[in-house]
Amino acid sequence: MQSFDLETEGLRKLNSSLHAQNNDTNQTAWEIINPKGSHAIAVGLDAPIEVTVLGSTGYYCGGMNKQATVHVKGSAGPGVAENMMSGKVVIDGDASQYAGATAHGGLLVIKGNASSRCGISMKGVDIVVHGNIGHMSAFMAQSGNLVVLGDAGDALGDSLYEANLFVRGTVKSLGADCIKKDMRPEHLEILTRLLAEAEADAKPEEFTRYGSARELYNFDIDNASAY
């Protein structure tokens, strides 16, 4: 285990040390102490390493992640796992705005609540939130899966494309072109897998699936005057 004191050694040295790791590294486990809400912790990683942050983080923790597992034993500020490509990011506490924004792959697990715009413009990532999510979540979500064990705020899935949204609780309101959809066997399989990976105590049958009505992104000549 590599232990790194962020307060004494600084963010630049931390990220440089993590960026120096590769697929053949033998320094596979890292522990970061005294994060004290610092921004951009463990961003841009590209190695199969495990990074544990002992405390809460600021903006963009785990952003642009590839391959690595980042575990925050606290809460995370805005943009956690933003533009993640692969790997896994786990937040033990709550996450602020636009968690998992534009992420292309990997798994983001938030064991508390997520604020507004969770999964905005997601492009293939899987996001599991054990608590609630705020308004405008999954806005313009293109692909991937958003699983919410709690409730969802206003305008869920506004202008989304082909992402799956699974909510166990209530939805305050649906956004433009977002509708309730049938839960088919393949969706139950997706939920079963994600709930297990996120260590979430819930059954797939308890969820409702929401998705795109596919009215906004198809050109209709009969409605040309409205464009």
AA identity, residue 36: K
Domain count, the chain: 1
Spans in the chain with pLDDT lower than 50? none
Q: What is the pLDDT of residues 51-73, one digit of tens each?
A: 999 999 999 999 999 999 999 99
- Put simply, whether the predicted model's pTM sits higher than 0.85 gets the answer yes
Please indicate, yes or no, if residue 107 is contained in any of the structural domains. yes
- Structural domain that includes position 90: 48-214
Q: Which residues pair with 146 in a beta bridge?
A: 127, 165
Please indicate, yes or no, if residue 205 is contained in any of the structural domains. yes
CA proximity to 126, closest of 109, 149, 142: 109
pLDDT value at position 227?
A: 52
pLDDT value at position 223?
A: 62
Look up the CATH number of the domain holding residue 133: 2.160.20.60
Q: Is 9 helix (H, G, I), strand (E, B) or coil?
A: helix
